[in-house]
Amino acid sequence: MNTDLLIFTGINTHDAYVHYKEQNVEELRRRVTIERALSASKNAFSVPGFCYICNKDVEFRVDYSHSFQWEGELTPNYREHLTCSGCGFNNRMRASVHVLEQKIKPKGSIYITEQITPLFTLLRKRIGNVVGSEYLGSKVKYGQFDKNGTRNESITKLSFPDRSFDVIMSFDVLEHVPDYANGFIECYRVLNPGGQMQFTVPFTGLKHSITRAEINQDGKITHIQPAEYHGDPVKNEGCLCFHHFGWDLLDSLRAIGFVDVSALFYWSQHYGYMGKGEQMLFIASKPK
């Protein structure tokens, strides 16, 4: 396996991001050109590449479900597609494991804020010492299990003791939490010193985050932007998105106490990590 083909670029401020874009105009344009050429027919297609999970050459499949208009063109949602013909994992799921094993290199316990997903099953098989959960609401007490063995946790009120995990993984969860800052505070609390958090949220690339909806003191939701719902493995109706995040998110993490906070950018046609010329996730550490 050749990991040299994947380069990670850590960026920790909006100004650094602007500089990165300015210094890499031609490379970013090249990537977008490749993506648009692949999808020119506007039909489902496959991209040959190498799957990090399968450790072999495969075909990555793309279709136009959940496609969107970007810069005037109908664009596949590459992040949720580029599905491996072998393991069945999409772009973001394969990349999350790739980053975990190649950058974080976990040596202890992991908590991931999902449990009934293929990603959780893969991590349990591949790494072993992994705890997962779903948000089941008031149906089950936090820290307890439902009849199917699914653990109920709220990221703002985790039932775990202080210093319980070496790594926390959370993918596209915190945008659905009105008081997301308390979620990060809880993650900080249950991380061991030197532990790391790896997560994704909708990211605008702007300086400031956008609040799409709020919950009032009486529990009523006020929509500031048009209601946006994302897929939810637990609820068919989906989950309301409260936030789209900007670079001020990193300042919020530093204020909590996290260090080495950065957005990790990457892109690779070879590994099937494509979409808008750049893919990214966040990494933050608790001081030792």
Instruction: Label residue 3 by pLDDT band (50, 70, 90).
Output: very low
The CA distance from 240 to 202, in Å, is: 13
CB under 8 Å, gap of 24 or more: what pairs does 155-158 form? Answer: 155/113, 155/183, 155/186, 155/187, 156/182, 156/183, 156/186, 157/186, 158/186, 158/187, 158/189, 158/190
Query: Using one digit for the tens of pLDDT, what is the confidence trace for 130-154?
Result: 999 999 998 899 999 999 999 999 9
Element (H, E) at 158: none
| Ramachandran angles phi, psi of 159, nearest 5° | -85, -5
Residue 165 CA to residue 85 CA, distance in Å, equals: 33
Burial 57-78 (b: 16+ CB within 10 A, else e): ebbbbbebeebeeeeeeebbbb
pLDDT at 190 over 80: yes
Quick one: which of 147, 137, 138, 96 has its CA closest to 234? 137
Instruction: Return the residue matching tokens 């998105």.
Output: 241
Domain spans, the chain: 3-285
Q: Which two tokens stand for residue 166?
A: 């070496």
| Mean pLDDT value across residues 94-105 | 94
Q: Is residue 24 pLDDT above 70, yes or no? A: yes
3-state secondary structure of 279: strand
The confidence band for 236, taking pLDDT boundaries of 50, 70 and 90, is low
> What percentage of residues in the chain have a pLDDT greater than 70?
96
pLDDT at position 1: 41
Q: Round the average pLDDT of the chain to a whole number and report it.
A: 93
If you average pLDDT over residues 156-160, what whole number do you get? 97
| Mean pLDDT for the stretch of residues 177-195 | 97
Q: What is the mean pLDDT of residues 85-113?
A: 94
Looking at residue 234, its pLDDT comes to: 66
Q: Quick one: pLDDT at residue 218?
A: 85
pLDDT of 86 over the 70 cut = yes
Token pair belonging to 236: 């068919």
Tell me 161's DSSP state: P
- pLDDT tens digit string along 248-284? 999 999 999 999 999 999 999 999 999 999 999 999 9
Q: In the prediction, which pLDDT does 216 show?
A: 87
Q: Are 283 and 198 in contact (CB under 8 A)?
A: yes
pLDDT level of residue 219 (50, 70, 90 thresholds): confident
Residue 9 pLDDT > 60, yes or no? yes
Q: Which one, of 60, 119, 57, lies nearest residue 84 by Cα? A: 60
User: 49-53, 224-228, 242-246 — which is least confidently predicted?
Assistant: 224-228
In the predicted model, what is the mean pLDDT of residues 49-60?
A: 97
Query: What's the whole-number mean pLDDT along residues 183-192?
Result: 98
266: Cβ contacts below 8 Å, ≥ 6 apart: 6, 7, 8, 9, 95, 99, 273, 278, 279, 280
CA 76 – CA 61 distance, rounded (Å): 11
Q: Which residue has the higher pLDDT, 269 or 232?
A: 269
Tell me, what's the pLDDT at 235? 67
Residue 7 confidence (pLDDT): 87
Backbone angles phi, psi at 153, to 5 degrees: -140, 145
DSSP assignment string, 186-229 = HHHHHEEEEEEEEEE--B--SSS-EE-EEE-TTS-EEESS---E
Whole-angstrom distance, CA of residue 80 vs CA of residue 63: 10
Which element (helix H / strand E) includes 65?
none
Residue 238 has pLDDT above 90, yes or no: no
Give the strand pairing for 56-62 and 110-112: unpaired
On whether the 3-285 domain is CATH 3.40.50.150, my answer is: yes
